[in-house]
Amino acid sequence: MGAMSEEIPHLLCQVHSRVCRRLQHETGLAAPVGQNAKGDTQQRFDVVADAVIRRALRESFGSGIILSEESDAVQFGEAPPSYRFVVDPVDGSDNWGRGLPLSAVSIAVLPVDGPIQPDRVSWAMVGELREHLPLTAGHVTGAYRGSHRIRVSEVRTVSSAFLSCELNHYDPPPSVGRLLQSARAVRTYGCASRAITLVATGALDVHVDLRNRLTAESFLAAALILEEAGGSVVNAEGQPIQQIDSLRSRTSLVAAATPELAQEVVRALVN
């Protein structure tokens, strides 16, 4: 039996809980086992988390299509699928493997038909692997931590902003250096979904990733949570992120508390 839409955030939270319990009670999981479809190194914990999520989605939703960073796309259930699940079993894998803070389960729920793009995400969950309560959102229903609605900071200028910038595998041009210099404070986290959702909660004001390396499973869920919290997600040209062909398609983004802040960042990058 398929899940009713109002049940979906609760079911996604249950998936997060199952992954956390499994990973936190296992040892020896930080061991390379191969490469995923993007060519990134797979750790054993990536594969374990992926298997837990697949099993949980089958049990909770009855039928659907799963697109995961760590395994081939699969359709499950006998009934026609109602949803596609875009899954990052462990976003911030390097952080988790090293025992560093900030790594998360990320799941975006989209209709079965039509393109994969942020404005088509119906439901989303991003859950830190070391925290009990994940963040959830539904399209036009708001963003929440449990029953508490979350909101962005409403900062509008770079000079007032706590800014996160992803620098891994990146040689930033001078414009990025000037942007970082002009911000109130700069952080880097190595986990896109958590950095974006930190903007959603108001802990950060803007997250910038200009490497053209981001793939959909790392940001689709977080983007809906941010937008439902009042924020703005655009590409490096300041435009909405459009159709994503596959989980191998790469992009850059600016995720900000306000449209004004997002556009100031974009302008700074071309000057």
Structural domains in the chain plus CATH codes: 5-149 (3.30.540.10), 158-270 (3.40.190.80)
- Residue 5 has a pLDDT of 77
Neighbours of 75 (CB within 10 A): 12
- Residue 27 has a pLDDT of 67
- Residue 1 has a pLDDT of 43
Would the pTM count as exceeding 0.85? yes
Kindly list the averaged pLDDT for each block of 10 residues, start to end, along the chain of length 271. Answer: 76 97 81 82 93 96 95 92 96 93 97 93 97 95 96 98 96 96 97 98 98 96 98 97 91 98 96 75
Tens digits of residue pLDDT in 24-45: 877 677 788 888 877 788 999 9
Per the prediction, the chain carries an average pLDDT of 94
- Residue 230 has a pLDDT of 98
- Residue 29 has a pLDDT of 77
